[in-house]
Amino acid sequence: MTLARHVASGMARVNPAGPARKTRVQRSEEVRDALFQAAAEMVGEHGYIDASISRITQRANLAQGTFYNYFASRQDIFDELLPVLGAKMLAHIRQQVRGATSFEEKEERSFRAFFGFIRRMPYFLRILNEAEIFAPKAHRQHFHNIATGYLGFLQKARDRGEVADLSDEALGALVYILIAARSYLALRYAKDHDLVELPEEAVTAYMHLLTRGLLKAPGS
């Protein structure tokens, strides 16, 4: 048997029926994901006000009527959009942090990953910044999801003795301080809703503030 026939024979045994058909659930999830992606791009390009259903379905290459199989209204998809993107952001950060051993290393990787995600999805900034007005439900849910996960991370670091022994209430306030630092740095280095390369000096400043504070040590 020639090599080509051997390979073909092996492939036939592995998958004699050809590619497996997608289930109805899989197809439905793909359409839903396509609508979210199209909505994200339309809000990023036109803002919430002008991100119409027709624009969303055209970008997704779907019939306009298909939209209503998944969402009752334009506001309905807007109310889910930011939390869905936030979940993607957290998944990206977790992947980038994997393998880090210390709090300091995890935090720096997480900081860099946040800006890396924004560079990959530049429309995220506009969606986030306009959501407080046009999708307040999504805005509240997004920050609840982010803050809850971040608080758990800081609590574990505190319990391991890696950070100061602060109360849960104090750590909760610190969470929002750190989230604000990232958000405003993103605005600082954004141009037309698109993030330019984050300077290393910004990373250095953030980590210095986090690990050493601003006060100069006595006698230094």
Count of CB atoms situated within 10 Å of the CB of 68: 12
**Cα–Cα distance list, 175 to 36, 101, 112, 113, 121 (Å):** 28, 20, 17, 17, 23
Assign 3-class secondary structure to 138-180. HHHHHHHHHHHHHHHHHHHHHHCCCCCCCCHHHHHHHHHHHHH
Residue pair 118/183 in contact (Cβ under 8 Å)? The answer is no
Residues 50 and 139 in one domain: no
Residues 66 and 138 in one domain: no
Residues 142-173 pLDDT 10s: 999 999 999 999 999 999 999 999 999 999 99
Question: Average pLDDT over the chain, rounded to whole?
Answer: 89
77 vs 211: CA distance, rounded Å:
40
The CATH number that applies at residue 135 is 1.10.357.10
27 vs 153: CA distance, rounded Å:
36
Residues 191 and 114 in one domain: yes
Residue in 175, 168, 37 with CA at minimum distance from that of residue 110: 175
Last residue of a domain, one of 71, 105, 131: 71
Residues 64 and 81 in one domain: no
Considering the domain boundaries, does residue 16 fall inside one? no
Residues 185 and 80 in one domain: yes
Range of the domain at 118: 74-215
**Cα–Cα distance list, 79 to 26, 135, 168 (Å):** 23, 6, 29
Residues 79 and 66 in one domain: no
Residue 199: phi, psi to the nearest 5?
A: -65, 145
Residue pair 188/180 in contact (Cβ under 8 Å)? The answer is no
* Angle separating helix axes 123-134 and 168-188, nearest 10 degrees: 120
Q: What is the tally of structural domains in the chain?
A: 2
Residues 105-130 pLDDT 10s: 999 999 999 999 998 898 999 999 99
Last residue of a domain, one of 56, 71, 86: 71
Write down the pLDDT at residue 198. 86
